[in-house]
Structure 1
Amino acid sequence: MVASFLLALREGLEAALIVGLTIGVLMKMNRRQQLPVVWAGVGAATAVSVIAALILHWVGAELEGAAEQIFEGVTMFLA
């Protein structure tokens, strides 16, 4: 549980760093009109991530036995 939390925290900090750098570069280039596009991308990425998590959780809950173990192994490998 702690390992999953730390992994999610690290990934969130990485994403925040990338978004922050992107916004910083746009502001330095005086391209503030592009900021809504960045925030739209952040929102879209968040929505896709939540939807994918819900789908994977639903699929994982429906499986039993060996199929469940294979599903967990594949998702851990892909993550």
Structure 2
Amino acid sequence: MSDLTTHLNHLRRPGLLVRAATMACETGDAHRRAKRRPVTKLLAEEELLNAARMGGGMGYSPTRHVQVMSALLAAARAVN
């Protein structure tokens, strides 16, 4: 699973998004989300959310993006 850590290190996301996800990762919600959903699904959803963010679409939810990113960070921390 160090591949997950490597993958997350190579992501280029806005600093505010990363900081919010890092703070949200400290909550139990992020850990529950990480346990409920497979990492591959979280990664796929994060890619879709990032594409929506980049495209400026009306369907983009910053809240959901922080939730998914925090779950990914929690999953990466659980492996280490």
TM-score over 0.5 for the alignment? no
Structure with greater proportional helix content: 1
Shorter-chain TM-score range:
0.3 to 0.5
TM-score normalised per structure 1: 0.38
Bigger relative CO (Cα 8 Å, ≥ 6 apart)? 2
Please identify the structure whose Cα radius of gyration is greater. Answer: 1
TM-score normalised per structure 2: 0.37
